[in-house]
Amino acid sequence: MMIAIPDLLEPAAVARLRGIIDAAEWVDGNVTSGHQSALAKKNEQLPEGSAAAKEAGGLVLEALGKSPLFFAAALPLKVFPPLFNRYGEGQTFGTHVDNAIRIQRGTEFRIRSDLSITIFLEDPANYDGGELVVEDHFGVQRVKLPAGHAVLYPSSSLHHVTPVTRGIRVASFFWLQSMIRDDGNRRILFDLDQAVQRLTAQLGGADRSVIELTGVYHNLLRSWADA
């Protein structure tokens, strides 16, 4: 499933984050590419593990921890440290699929990449092109969101970033391992969670039906979760 997460970062947080990364040194984006991706990728990236990436990544992780929508959609078990990239005029990332296993450089930390996330960090009016295009079972989805908004999508999907023709596209991107490996099961849990939230708002948390449906949710989670 593909889920947009509005206002993951408030404008003040975006400004603070941009102040950190814009002042840092950027390198060729292929430092984190696999063989296939390196053939299609033309962008710049903050070095993984750099002081700026760690500081800015901390702001992103803090925001994720405060987002009920992110947790409901992702059911995260492990999150890869956030990375940051930018695309100038003529730069692009051709069609590819993300590596199944991501390993943090210089450590033993590794995850199975179930979900990918992109957090847009530039006002879309300031650049042309640079759309994230994701191919899934429901067709082709084109995404270009306001600064601070994020999109979550299966890492197994084919996707690309269209060429930037004006301005600079800036984003954070990373991967996560979900407690629920299967995307279809994760979708069922998300839909059930959202329905329970709506019923709770209408009927109250003490309503018998709300309690029973909450039990169904947790029993499914208990049955399917890796954790």
Q: What is the 3-state secondary structure (H, E, C) of 134-157?
A: EEECCEEEEECCCCCCEEEEECCC
Domain check: are 212 and 160 in the same one? no
Domain check: are 82 and 164 in the same one? yes
Please write the tens of the pLDDT for every residue from 68-113.
999 999 999 999 999 999 999 999 999 999 999 999 988 999 999 9
Of 148, 163, 178, which one is at a domain's C-terminal end? 178
How far apart CA 43 and CA 27 sit, in angstroms, is: 9
Please write the tens of the pLDDT for every residue from 131-163.
999 998 778 999 999 999 999 999 999 999 999
User: Measured between alpha carbons, how far is residue 16 from residues 7, 50, 140 in Å?
Assistant: 15, 17, 33
Domain check: are 47 and 24 in the same one? yes
Decide if 174 contacts 99 (C-beta within 8 A). no
Domain check: are 112 and 219 in the same one? no
Domain check: are 54 and 135 in the same one? yes
Domain check: are 215 and 161 in the same one? no
User: What confidence score (pLDDT) does residue 106 get?
Assistant: 87
Number of domains composing the chain: 2
pTM for the complete prediction? 0.93
User: What confidence score (pLDDT) does residue 29 get?
Assistant: 73
Domain check: are 206 and 110 in the same one? no
Please write the tens of the pLDDT for every residue from 38-48.
567 899 999 99
The pLDDT confidence band at residue 32, using thresholds 50, 70 and 90, is low
The pLDDT confidence band at residue 37, using thresholds 50, 70 and 90, is low
User: What confidence score (pLDDT) does residue 33 get?
Assistant: 52
159 in helix, strand or coil? Answer: strand
Please write the tens of the pLDDT for every residue from 162-214.
999 999 999 999 999 999 999 999 999 999 999 999 999 999 999 999 999 99
How far apart CA 26 and CA 85 sit, in angstroms, is: 8
The pLDDT confidence band at residue 31, using thresholds 50, 70 and 90, is low
Domain check: are 52 and 155 in the same one? yes
* pLDDT of residue 12 exceeding 80: yes
Beta bridge pairs of residue 44: 28, 86
Strand residue runs (E) in the chain: 3-5, 27-28, 41-42, 44-45, 76-79, 83-87, 92-96, 101-103, 110-112, 115-120, 128-129, 132-136, 139-143, 150-154, 158-161, 164-166, 169-178
**Residue 46 belongs to domain with CATH number:** 2.60.120.620
56-65, 137-146, 211-220: which range is least confident on average?
Answer: 137-146
10-24, 32-46, 111-125, 136-150: which range is least confident on average?
Answer: 32-46
Residue of 5, 80, 44, 75 whose CA lies nearest to 168: 44
User: What confidence score (pLDDT) does residue 136 get?
Assistant: 82
Residue of 119, 85, 81 whose CA lies nearest to 102: 81
**Residue 198 belongs to domain with CATH number:** 4.10.860
What is the pLDDT of the chain when averaged over all its residues?
A: 94
User: What confidence score (pLDDT) does residue 137 get?
Assistant: 78
Domain check: are 139 and 78 in the same one? yes
The whole domain housing 217 covers 183-224
Angle between helices 208-224 and 183-203 (to 10 degrees): 160
How far apart CA 178 and CA 185 sit, in angstroms, is: 11
